[in-house]
Amino acid sequence: MNPQVKIVYLDAYHSHPIAIAESAFADIERQVLAARVCRICGLPYTEETGNRPRVTQNICLVCYLKKQQDTYTFVGKDETESTSHYTTSLYLDVKGIVHYSTTSNDNDPEESIEMTLRFYGFPVPDSIEASGEQIPLYAGNWYIHGDVRNQSVVVIEFIKRIDDYRHFPFLSYKQGEAVLLDKRRGNTRRLYLAAKKQHEASKDRRGYYHLHGREIGNFSETNVYYIVSDLASAEYDAKQQDK
């Protein structure tokens, strides 16, 4: 195509291309961007300081929160993303889990475990060495077994379900390191065994286990991890107080 020609569309279905002079395009683009409004309230966006920044492709913060029945608390833009053309906004749900929206679409907020851990200052490893090979630990495969809002250590687990079933639990120390939870040796083994014992000991005469005031039907590894979070946090906090 002639480089001095640009194609624009003014119809909703892009079925009627309009060829315009390339020289006029920049001006038109500027005008279009300057005229942007929220598709719900029809009001122009305010920048960072105002209460109506654009948080999705075409929705302002006020309308977006209302659309979610005001169940989310806006916590700000994701500052870790610098290269992207789009901006990501973060929200907390009632449980303190981070959800995000992006200016690349108008979708409802999506939960992110990695963003949640990062938000509260818990490190997430990006790979692990197992039997001589380096295994990447991709985002989207993490689970939290602990209370990120109140604990200083939580067990996080990477679970890979495709190809081969593998899972790697770690102890993640707030503003510190992530340590593989090794059940066979070292300090993590000691914590793991103590947690397992505590889980077993919580069994009542009817055969139910008890954890955080809840009755649980069966013994599970996940519950052991929750207890490891409790024990590791208590130990860590006690050590901080001694300092």
Rounded (5°) CA angle 201-207-208: 75
Using the rule CB under 5 A, is 38 a contact of Zn ion? yes
Residue from the set 21, 26, 28, 41 that interacts with Zn ion by CB under 5 A: 41
Using the rule CB under 5 A, is 21 a contact of Zn ion? no
Query: Least distance to Zn ion from the beta carbon of 51, Å?
Result: 10
User: Can you tell me which residue has the tokens 């379900």?
Assistant: 161
User: Can you tell me which residue has the tokens 């309009």?
Assistant: 18
Q: Which is nearer to Zn ion, 28 or 41 (CB)?
A: 41
3-class secondary-structure state, position 224: helix
Using the rule CB under 5 A, is 40 a contact of Zn ion? yes
Q: Which is nearer to Zn ion, 58 or 141 (CB)?
A: 58
Write out the two tokens for 125: 């490893």
Q: Which is nearer to Zn ion, 55 or 124 (CB)?
A: 55
Distance CA 225, CA 196 (A): 9
Number of residues lying near Zn ion (CB under 5 A) = 5
Task: Give the containing element (helix H, strand E) for 19.
Answer: strand 17-21
Residue from the set 55, 60, 144, 227 that interacts with Zn ion by CB under 5 A: 60
Binding segment (CB under 5 A) for Zn ion, from list 30-38, 68-76, 129-137, 193-201? 30-38
Contacts of 61 (CB under 8 A, 6+ apart): 51, 52, 53, 54, 55, 74, 89
User: Chain centroid to CA 140: how far?
Assistant: 9
Using the rule CB under 5 A, is 65 a contact of Zn ion? no
Residue from the set 6, 53, 55, 63 that interacts with Zn ion by CB under 5 A: 63
Q: Which chain residues interact with Zn ion by CB under 5 A? A: 38, 40-41, 60, 63
